[in-house]
Amino acid sequence: MAIESDVVVIGGGLAGATAALSAAREGAHVHLISANESTLRQASGLIDARGYPDPDADLDGDRRVSAPGPLVDPFAGIEDLPENHPYRVAGADALREGLALFDDAVGDLYRGGHTDRNALVATTSGRAKPTARYPRSMAPGVVSDERPMLLVGFEAATDFDASLAAERLSAAGVPFDVVGTTIAFPGEYRADAAVTRLAHALERDECVGSAHGENEGQGRTTRQRLADRIRPHLGDAERVGLPAMLGDARVEEVRADLSERLDAPVFEVPTGPPSLPGIRLADRLFAALDEAGVSMTTGMPVVDFESTGGADGDRIDRVIIDRNGAQIPYAAEQFVLATGGLVGKGLDSDRERAREAVFDCYVPQPDDRMQWSKAGAFADHAFARFGVEPDGAMRPLDAEGVPEFENLRAAGGVVGGADVAREQSASGVSLATGLVAGRTAAEEA
């Protein structure tokens, strides 16, 4: 026997969650298997679709003619991308439909769905990142807004240097004045306190005892004291950015309270992992999956599979997960591979070649390993485009162009053909391919 469902999705990141939701909404019973807690918990929470044009379009030989600027419209020019780009493979409407599914699942947690245009969101490193969707808590921080901005960092949160971020934003020519300052988070916490600890302190908003002086802060709550500490730095600022740790599920309550106390809208600046916006997004998407009746197993990797030969090629019968040595079979009609790329470990590599980790699907790559990369960290590396090459139903193809398995589809980072880091398109690729993989799987399940 085995655990049975119509569709098994392997991978709990954005692509896996999208594929599972897409299949479930078509009426399939879906089982989502994730090797670890969702990688969304490490993610910034921003949903990019296409931030930059093909970075090599303006190269003359190896010489850059002009620095490509961020794209205003992520949809523009999709038809000019290479044929094997995931957006071309998944089809013309896939990105738009993927974003629509996302908007519906996350509801008012997100902004950006009102327009096709990218927003520019200020990051902790002082960049303006083009993004298609952004958490509501970041909305007052968009760079197109011209109100003067104050960025506030915490001594304990060392990965956000607010002054440096402000300087860089100014140097990049943003259309507003921006200054940065660093303050101590109110209350007595260890210097390296977990961000969730501080977030929950803001959410609970309890009275905190004296931290420095005899009576300092007595009878005042965490939020009151935080606002007190920010106020002297306000100057002309009409909006205030803080590292993204303004509460967990009740971020809007924290933000509204702080905004009222400072008489200026308060927003979050996306931080590195562990990321509260990422955690909130994971929680919201998994709640949507739960509502859609999706079954979920988290924390165990798929280590093996069983297949049989069929009329149209091989067919996967079941995948096997490893539960501390015990092998548990999961059977289904259709399978979706959403295990990520080289970073997410859906692709594995050694000194000989890069391979897809679960089913060993064909991954096109140069024979000579020296051709995998070029000099320079952000150069046009071949490895960045590594991944399986699917057909229009997102089925990975072998070297002859025939589907590896008749009932296996791929989505997200494991799909090759795009340098998502340079394009800033990782989330959009996950949404577009996840949508199509989930839908086509459900249709045939």
Smallest gap from Cβ 283 to other proteins, in A, equals 9
Q: Based on the number of CB atoms within 10 Å of its own CB, is 103 exposed (0-12), middle (13-18) or buried (19 or more)?
A: middle
The span of 91-99, 298-306, 309-317, 407-415 binding other proteins (CB under 8 A) equals 298-306
The identity of residue 24, as a single letter, is A
The span of 14-22, 36-44, 117-125, 164-172 binding other proteins (CB under 8 A) equals 36-44
Smallest gap from Cβ 212 to other proteins, in A, equals 16
Smallest gap from Cβ 356 to other proteins, in A, equals 19
Closer to other proteins at the Cβ: 23 or 78? 23
Asked if 350 touches other proteins (CB under 8 A), the answer is no
Asked if 197 touches other proteins (CB under 8 A), the answer is yes
231, 323, 421, 443: which one binds other proteins (CB under 8 A): 323
Q: Based on the number of CB atoms within 10 Å of its own CB, is 326 exposed (0-12), middle (13-18) or buried (19 or more)?
A: exposed
Ranges assigned E (strand) in 136-228: 149-154, 178-183
Residues 6+ apart with CB under 8 A from 114: none
Residue/partner pairs of 50-54 with CB below 8 Å, 24 or more apart: 50/74, 50/75, 50/78, 50/87, 50/118, 50/132, 50/423, 50/424, 50/425, 50/428, 51/118, 51/129, 51/130, 51/131, 51/423, 51/424, 51/425, 52/130, 52/422, 52/423, 52/424, 53/77, 54/81, 54/423
Smallest gap from Cβ 187 to other proteins, in A, equals 10
76, 194, 256, 379: which one binds other proteins (CB under 8 A): 194
Q: How many residues at the interface with other proteins, by CB under 8 A?
A: 36
170, 181, 297, 373: which one binds other proteins (CB under 8 A): 297
Asked if 298 touches other proteins (CB under 8 A), the answer is yes
Closer to other proteins at the Cβ: 92 or 287? 287
26, 36, 55, 382: which one binds other proteins (CB under 8 A): 36
Asked if 3 touches other proteins (CB under 8 A), the answer is yes
Give, as ranges, the residues between 263 and 292 that touch other proteins (CB under 8 A).
Answer: 273-274, 279
Asked if 37 touches other proteins (CB under 8 A), the answer is yes
Asked if 259 touches other proteins (CB under 8 A), the answer is no
Q: Which of 183, 118, 180, 179 is nearest to 144 (CA)?
A: 118
Asked if 210 touches other proteins (CB under 8 A), the answer is no
Residue 252, CA distances (Å) to 110, 237, 277, 388 in order: 12, 21, 12, 41
The span of 73-81, 189-197, 359-367, 387-395 binding other proteins (CB under 8 A) equals 189-197
Q: How far apart are CA 423 and CA 172, in angstroms?
A: 20
14-25 helix and 94-106 helix, angle to the nearest 10 degrees = 90
Q: How far apart are CA 64 and CA 85, in angstroms?
A: 23
Asked if 1 touches other proteins (CB under 8 A), the answer is yes
Smallest gap from Cβ 99 to other proteins, in A, equals 26
Asked if 442 touches other proteins (CB under 8 A), the answer is no
Q: Which of 141, 143, 140 is nearest to 172 (CA)?
A: 143
Contact positions vs other proteins (CB under 8 A): 1-3, 36-37, 39, 41-42, 188-190, 192-197, 200, 273-274, 279, 293, 295-300, 321, 323-329
